[in-house]
Every structure is written in C-alpha cells, then in structure tokens.
Amino acid sequence: MHEVLIPLFEGVQPLDVTGPHEVLAGATHLLGMADGRPGYRLSLVAAQPGPVRAESGLGLVADRPLPESGPIGTLLVPGGFGTRAMASDEVFLAWLRRAADRADRVVSVCTGALLLAAAGILDGLSATTHWRYAPVLARHFPAVDVQTDAIYLRQGRIWTSAGVTAGIDVALALVEDDHGAEVAQQIARELVVFLRRPGGQSQFAGPVWSPPAKNPSVRSAQDLIHGDPAADLRVPVLAARVGMSERHFSREFTKALGRPPGDYVEQVRVDTARRVLESEPVLVTVAAARAGFGSAETMRRAFLRRLGVAPDQYRRRFAVTPN
C-alpha cells in the first residue's frame, strides 16, 4: 500500500483534504475490486490526534500525531486560513522538512504551497497556488517561480496545485501517474469531474485589477481605457490623448504598471467581455463589439491566450441563468 500522509491544523480548508481523500480512496476501492492491486493507505495526522476544526467549522479527525519516522509515499499538504499561523510555526515547519525528506512525493493543495515555501521546499522550483494568493507567494518567497494560471504543476517529486477543488485535479493526476489513465478516468466519471480540466485557473479568477498609477499621465490613460474599452485605444491615440510621445508613453506606462499598454488594453477588454458573457444573453459578436475587439475571432484568440477557453465555452460554464 502507498502511504499517504495528510497533516491537519486548525483552520484547514476541508475540501483540500476531502477532495484528494475521496479520489485516492476511490482508486483504492477500484483497484481492489478489479484485481486485488494495492492502492493507498490514507492517514490524517496532526500535532495532537483527535478532532481538528476546519476553517468552515467542519470537524476533521486526525488518526494519530505527526509521525517522526517511517517511510511516506505521498505527503499531501492542504491549505486554508490556518496556513497564516502555520507558516510561522517553526516546530511544524521543521517537521514538514523532515517529513518531506523521507517522502517519495510531496504535494500541496491551494495555499498549502505557502507552507512548503515557508519550509524552503519550493526554493528554486516553479509552483502554483490559488490565483488570489499567487501574488502573496511570489512576494514573500522570491526563490519560488510562481505560475499563476496552472491547475497543477509537477517539478520532479514536488507537485503543487491551485485552489480548493484543484486538489481533485492533482489527485487524479497522481492516480494516473501511479496506475494509468484508465483508472483515473473511472474515478473522474464517478466524481463527475474532468480528468484533465480544460484551461487554466485564470478563467475562474475575478477581473484583474491594477492600482492607479502614480504618474498622472499614465493614470489618465488608465481612466480612458477603463472608461470606454470599446474606444480606439491604440498606443498613438492614447499617447496623444495624454500629451506624450508614443515612445515615452509606452516606456512610462510599462514602468508604472508592469505591462505594456497593448497588453493592458487586451486584459481590460477580456474582463469586459467576460462580464457581458456572464450576465447577458447576447451573441459572442455583440460581446466582442461592446468590449472593443475588432471581431469575434480577435476576441476568441484573446480568450484562448488568457483564459484557455473560447468565448462560447466560457459562457456555457459561467453564464448566470435567469430564474
């Protein structure tokens, strides 16, 4: 049996635990029923055995204390609001480092990546986490190459995954890696989820918000862009509107906001089109026009580049159906 260790702590996100647990337990049942192959032995552990209160108030029960010896197949570290305290708990971080050293595979779910980073386990690696906390991970742990749009990432024996339900995605990937795609696909069917979720996590994120630039000319350009995304927002037009040369405007805009004007305009237009597609029953061509894209095809390419899905697919997933 492959030993899977899941450490619990006060304020853990329960779905980070139960999602992967159900996938791995389901795989164990399926393997045993099919041909008696061993699956996964799942253990919930904590500083003290017994009930642990999750961030939603749900009680989870740790089977035993944090083990100090013995082999570990997979160390699976969940996230949750409780990671804020655990990321500065030197006793827990020291245990995490020791456990990771004797694990064949280390996996984080959601903000569990912050705990791996705090323990130094992600230094020099690419990693992902919940889109909302990716900037926090990047800011506090510059030795980690943070990938904001991945559902999960694998770096050798280290796996990290995005927010909450992405724990199911990464657990299915673990099953596929261990036992093949057919077993993983059967588990995905039982759970009514994708074996490989199309697109990245950016399609689930809220619109990108950039703070107003301190440079008044750049701030004016921002106001023009957000005020009317469908207007003519080419660089020469924006530069003229704020009284700057094209070259100087592009340089100052990029310096102030960390991205060139064209990239910023496209992101605002994608966010505008998303809001239209989510809330109004209009044609894709209408959404494209209202967001400032020259054509539906131009918008489709921008959606695929930034969200990993086409506009019609996005609408099917996220449109609010009126009562």
Catalytic residue numbers, as ranges: 110
- Residue 106: beta bridge partners? 75, 158
CB 272 within 8 A of CB 292: yes
Q: Which residue in the block uniquely carries the two structure tokens 């304020």?
A: 11
Pairing outcome for strands 50-53 and 126-127: unpaired
305, two tokens:
């580049």
3-state secondary structure of 297: helix
Distance from C-alpha of 177 to C-alpha of 170, rounded to nearest angstrom: 10
Contacts of 246 (CB under 8 A, 6+ apart): 235, 236, 239
Assign 3-class secondary structure to 85-151.
HHCCCHHHHHHHHHHHHCEEEEEECCCHHHHHHHCCCCCCCEECCCCCCHHHHHHHCCCCEECCCCC
Distance from C-alpha of 208 to C-alpha of 290, rounded to nearest angstrom: 18
Nearest partner of 314 among 228, 202, 188, 164, judged by Cα: 202
- For 129, half-sphere exposure in the C-beta direction (CA atoms, 13 angstrom radius) is 26
67-to-25, 49, 74 alpha-carbon distances in Å: 21, 11, 13
